[in-house]
């Protein structure tokens, strides 16, 4: 027995290699079903953050300011400390991390954000 030829037969017409299986859909470009035209609004447009009830609470100091201070740590690191915080500390931490573009953590009833962000945090608490 000899070797079998494993080559593809190109002598017969097998169709173009550029056939597009989605070619029939090109004619439907502007035509959508009536149900598809009414897309639901994104949840961000329906409910704004300011409309949601706050799950956390930060009490002002006796002098009327926010309890925000800056602490210096080892190796010259600076940390902004907010506290005491009552309620959902995780939600507040997530919000502050996003707004300050920095890392942070919860320590007992206080929240620490990396870097000096006293102005940003005070402004955020004033608008809340």
| 101 burial via Cβ count (<10 Å: 0-12, 13-18, 19+) | exposed
Tokens of 42: 């994104």
Rounded CA Rg of the chain: 30
pLDDT at position 70, please?
A: 96
pLDDT for 107: 93
Domains, the chain, ranges and CATH?
53-127 (3.30.780.10)
pLDDT at 84 over 80: yes
Token output for 67: 């309890």
Distance of CA 19 to the CA centre of its chain: 40
Is the bond preceding residue 74 a cis peptide, omega within 30 degrees? no
Share of the chain above pLDDT 90, in %: 30
- Tell me the mean pLDDT in the region 6-23: 68
**pLDDT of the residue at 128:** 73
The Cα–Cα gap between 102 and 83 comes to 17
Banded pLDDT at 29 (limits 50, 70, 90): low
* CA–CA gap between residue 115 and residue 94 (Å, rounded): 16
pLDDT at residue number 116: 95
Q: How much is the pLDDT for 6?
A: 74
Statement: residue 76 has pLDDT above 60: yes
């Amino acid at each position: 027995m000899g070797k079998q030829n494993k080559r593809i037969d190109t002598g017969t017409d097998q169709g173009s290699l550029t056939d597009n299986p989605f070619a029939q859909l090109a004619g439907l470009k502007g035509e959508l079903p009536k149900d598809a035209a009414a897309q639901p609004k994104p949840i961000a447009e329906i409910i704004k953050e300011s409309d949601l009830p706050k799950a956390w609470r930060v009490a002002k100091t006796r002098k009327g300011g926010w309890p925000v201070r800056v602490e210096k740590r080892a190796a010259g690191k600076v940390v902004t400390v907010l506290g005491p915080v009552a309620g959902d500390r995780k939600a507040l931490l997530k919000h502050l991390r996003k707004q300050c573009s920095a890392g942070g953590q919860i320590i007992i009833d206080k929240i620490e954000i990396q870097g000096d962000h006293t102005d940003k945090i005070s402004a955020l608490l004033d608008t809340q």
